[in-house]
Homo-oligomer: A and B are copies of this chain.
Amino acid sequence: MSTQSDNLRVVLVSTRNPLNIGAAARAMSNFGFLSLRVVNPYEVAFREARSAVGASAVLQKAEKHSSIAKAIADCSLVVGTTTLRQRERHHPLYRLEEGAQRIRTSLSTTRVALLFGSEKVGLSNEDLSHCHWLVHIPTRDAHPSMNLGQAVAVCLYELVRGWKPVKAKKTPVASSGELERITTVLMETLRASGYLGRTAPVTAEAKVRRLIRRMSLQDGDADLLLGMLRQILWKVHSNG
């Protein structure tokens, strides 16, 4: 169990309230998940939370990153949290119960990032494009949106609730860093080939990023695909 817990990164994106960062860290410590990463927090909030009296070890060791891509670069599975009502969906969406089961399976072999968005708007479409799939906590339609610290506590509780010794040995899957490299080269190829205009909107990039994440590429396949794309791109450029 301890290695599996070590493989989870809780990633708080654009958190505004220091109390929520502190609450998230406390729940992490309660349930034995010690690796916290914050992306682009409200600067004062992060400093305050970190320097609070009795700030936990989790908080003191928390890493700050300037982008989601950097915060999840070493993770092979990236899961976003959302409410059912939130915006248009482009991702598979699981109830927490089923999502946690999938996360646990992955944690036995690889690093997993669990993303929580800001208090006001949750994860943006750009944020979500880094995710392989989403989970939602089964809240009431009349009041779906949970407090951030409470949402973190519930998700981690569900993860711990179902721990069972896992035996399966799985094929290692590609890291987010590799997937992002594939995304970049494919975008460039699509532009160079005229599939996308030179000034393709950011939504196009998000769409491509999600496509690549949905492929559940294995480690070696990511290499293979990247090699193919680089050669194709070289050809498109050299002839263009």
Contact = CB atoms under 8 A, between A and B. Distances in A.
Interface of A: 19, 23, 26-27, 29-32, 56, 92-95, 97-98, 137-140, 142-147, 149-151, 153-154, 157-158, 160-161, 164, 166, 168-169, 171, 186, 189-190, 192-195, 207, 211, 214-218, 221, 224-225, 227-228, 231-232, 234-236, 239-240
B235 A194 contact: yes
B146 A27 contact: yes
A98 B168 CA distance: 9
A98 B166 contact: yes
Copies in the complex: 2
Nearest to A167: B95
**Top 8 A-B pairs ranked by shortest CB distance?**
A239-B239, A193-B235, A150-B153, A195-B231, A215-B215, A30-B139, A32-B140, A193-B232
Contacts of A92: 169, 171
A141 to B, nearest CB: 9
Contacts of A215: 215-217, 221
19 contacts: A19-B19, A23-B147, A26-B146, A26-B147, A27-B150, A30-B137, A93-B169, A97-B161, A98-B166, A138-B161, A151-B153, A157-B157, A190-B228, A190-B232, A193-B231, A194-B231, A214-B218, A232-B236, A236-B239
